[in-house]
Structure 1
Amino acid sequence: IRNNFLHQASTLMVKNHDLIVIEDLKIKNMSKSAKGTIENPGKNVKAKAGLNRSVLNEAWRKFFSYLEYKLKLKGGILIKVDPKHTSQTCIQCGHISKDNRKEQEIFKCVKCGYDAHADVNAAQNILKRAGLARMARQANLNRGRQQEPAEAYNNSTIVV
Structure 2
Amino acid sequence: MIVRAVPLDEVGAELGMAVFAALSDGTGIAPANHGQKALRALRKAQRALARKTRGSTNRRKAVRRIARIQMRVADARKDFLHKHSTIIAKTHGVVGVEALPVRSLSASATGTAAEPGRRVRQKAGLNRAILDQGWGLFRTMLADKVADRGGRLVEVPAAYTSQTCACCDHVEAANRPSQAVFVCGRCGRRANADTNAATNILRRADSALKPVERHRAQAAQ
* TM superposition score category, shorter chain reference: 0.7 to 0.9
Q: Which of 96, 115, 128 is the equivalent residue of 2:190?
A: 115
- Give the counterpart letter for 1:15 in structure 2: K
Q: Give, in angstroms, the shift of residue 35 of structure 1.
A: 2.4
Q: State the superposition RMSD in angstroms.
A: 2.3
CA distance in 2, matches of 1:60, 1:91: 24
Q: Give, in angstroms, the shift of residue 157 of structure 1.
A: 6.2
- Give the counterpart letter for 1:25 in structure 2: L
CA distance in 2, matches of 1:37, 1:97: 36
Q: Which of 127, 134, 158 is the equivalent residue of 1:52?
A: 127
Matches within 5 A, 1:46-85: 46-85=121-160
The TM-score normalised by the length of structure 2 is 0.56
How many percent of aligned residue pairs carry the same amino acid? 42
Task: Answer whether contact 2:89 2:146 (CA < 8 A) is retained.
Answer: yes
Q: Give, in angstroms, the shift of residue 108 of structure 1.
A: 1.7
For structure 2, list consecutive stretches of 5 or more residues without a partner in the other structure.
Answer: 1-74, 216-221
- State the structure with bigger RCO (CA 8 A, min sep 6), 1 or 2: 2
Structure number, greater radius of gyration: 2
Q: Which of 18, 36, 55 is the equivalent residue of 2:111?
A: 36
C-alpha distance after superposition, 1:19-75 (max 9, x if no partner): 212111111121122223445433322111111011112211111111111222221
C-alpha distance after superposition, 1:60-106 (max 9, x if no partner): 11111111112222211111111110001112221211121131112
User: Match of 1:20?
Assistant: 95
The TM-score normalised by the length of structure 1 is 0.75
